[in-house]
Amino acid sequence: MMSSDRHDDKSLLLRSFAYIALRLIAPLPITMTGKICAALLVLLISLKHYFFQNFFGGLASPDLPRIVIILSGWLYVTLTFLFVLLVIRDITGCLLWIAGKAGFSVNLSLTELPFSLGILLIVLLCSTYSLYEAIRRLDIKRMEVTLTRLPKALDGLTIVQITDLHVNAFNPAHKVKELSKRSTASTPISFCSPVILLTGQLSNGKRILRP
């Protein structure tokens, strides 16, 4: 079942690559050599998960430097957003073409340079924000739970749950230490001594790549 899922994922990625190559790279006013190089770059980016899984230790924690993981992730997300917006552009273009054939006056070209630059700007903004969300400091979420049958002696008990840390090259140990300090520092003094639960997967990858 897992092998079938991986085959389907790779097939989908290859279709996405083919779509970008045909709809974006092929029409570019550059030399054939430039188009081939651009297509190869897009192909390598689209197969990021395949390379991580089969050659660099796995998707959860590839055995690569942090900067390489961040850069490859940003390129992959950029490519994903680009694919989605290209599909939206082409569907919109088909609808406009149908509207024109139906007699409606449509004076909008989705292939003009300003529109293409707008798509590129949106893609870069979305992918950069996604990268920021991925690498910014870990969040602390506070929840208050009311239990009607809780003994009075435990009223106000604070439980700190730290889960799925996945300490690796992308999520280094110093970020986890910062999270631990913030978690304990945010516990009100008036509460009972907190219970700290460590759940989920704590680390991934090689120890040398967990700075």
Strand partners, 162: 198
Q: Can you tell me the distance from the alpha carbon of 49 to that of 207, in angstroms, rounded to the nearest whole number?
A: 22
Q: Can you tell me the distance from the alpha carbon of 179 to that of 139, in angstroms, rounded to the nearest whole number?
A: 8
- The domain limits of the chain are 2-135, 152-209
Taking only the tens of pLDDT, the chain with its 211 residues reads 445 455 555 677 778 888 888 888 888 788 899 989 999 988 888 888 888 877 777 666 677 777 888 888 888 888 888 888 888 888 888 888 888 778 777 666 666 656 767 777 888 888 888 878 777 766 677 888 888 888 888 887 888 777 777 776 666 666 667 666 665 665 554 444 567 787 877 766 555 444 4
* Torsion of the alpha carbons at 108, 114, 119 and 121, rounded to the nearest 10: -150
Mention every residue, 6+ apart, whose C-beta is less than 8 A from residue 59.
49, 52, 53
DSSP state of 63: S
Q: Which residue stretches of 21-167 are H helix? A: 32-46, 48-55, 66-101, 113-135
DSSP state of 202: -
